[in-house]
Amino acid sequence: MIKIFSYNINGIRAAIKKDLVKWITKSNPDIVCFQEIKANEDQFDTEIFTKLGYHNYWFSAQKKGYSGVGIISKIKPENIQIGTGIDFMDYEGRNLRLDFKKFSVMSLYLPSGTNINRLEFKFKYMYEFEKYVNSLKSKIPNLIIGGDYNICHKAIDIHDSSPRMEKVSGFLPEERTWLDKFIKSGFIDSFRYYNKFPHKYSWWSYRANSRNNNKGWRIDYLLVSEALRKNLIGSYILDDIVHSDHCPIGINIEI
């Protein structure tokens, strides 16, 4: 069994200070996709992951202290793909993929649409990312994309699905339609495959005591290629882990 996590840690240096390494040691995942590391490799001690037995790979944004992704893996990859080869996407360090013998794992940090300019950027990114993934499918059929998609898929994935929220980025009808189409293009939402119940979220605002009141959004996903459906054996949200405003999500898979 292989245990794969995805986790937006909202700053790896801050998370390390909050005992991230101790948690990884205890939970013992085989692979972790990180998003929003907010650091260059020379700004934190990557050796701590090596000492735990992980090969570790990082892709930072050009802008310091912003965005960035990483993957740590106990399994040595056969190939490391840093970025997508699309300049405007790679400038912000949002995609990193490891190819193993029988499957591939990508860490994705999709932009948020905090203002009109960033919302336009987000839609451009979504469009180009979908094209990029479609181009990968023929040579990489067994793909797992773990990441912060910054979109709630359905009403069950947000604490407040009232019409007023349909004007907020992350729950815009156009964003949700895109994610629905992307999933249906050949992926499984691993959490919903096993868990149909509401009130399970992966991100909470720091405002208004949102986490304690569970006023959250499920915007983090481990999307698994349909080709791996028979290999899935479990999926979960680890909402008691608190290094970040997000929490880790995970799958167990037999490959």
Residues tagged active-site: 148
Q: List Cβ neighbours of 101 (8 Å cut-off, separation of 6 or more).
A: 78
Distance (Å, whole) CA 136 – CA 188: 17
Residues near 29 by beta carbon (within 8 Å), at least 6 away in sequence = 3, 4, 5, 250
Q: Could you tell me whether strands 104-109 and 143-148 are parallel, antiparallel, or unpaired per DSSP bridges?
A: parallel
Residue 130 vs residues 50, 186, 195: alpha-carbon distances, Å: 33, 11, 26
The CA-based angle 201-99-239, given to 5 degrees, is 15
Residue 102 C-beta-side C-alpha neighbours within 13 Å: 8
Answer whether 112's CB lies under 8 Å from 122's CB: yes
CB 222, CB 249: distance < 8 Å = yes
Among 99, 107, 97, 35, smallest CA distance to 67 is for 35
Exposure string (b/e) for 38-63, b if CB count within 10 Å is 16 or more?
bbeeeebebeebeeeebbbbbbbbee
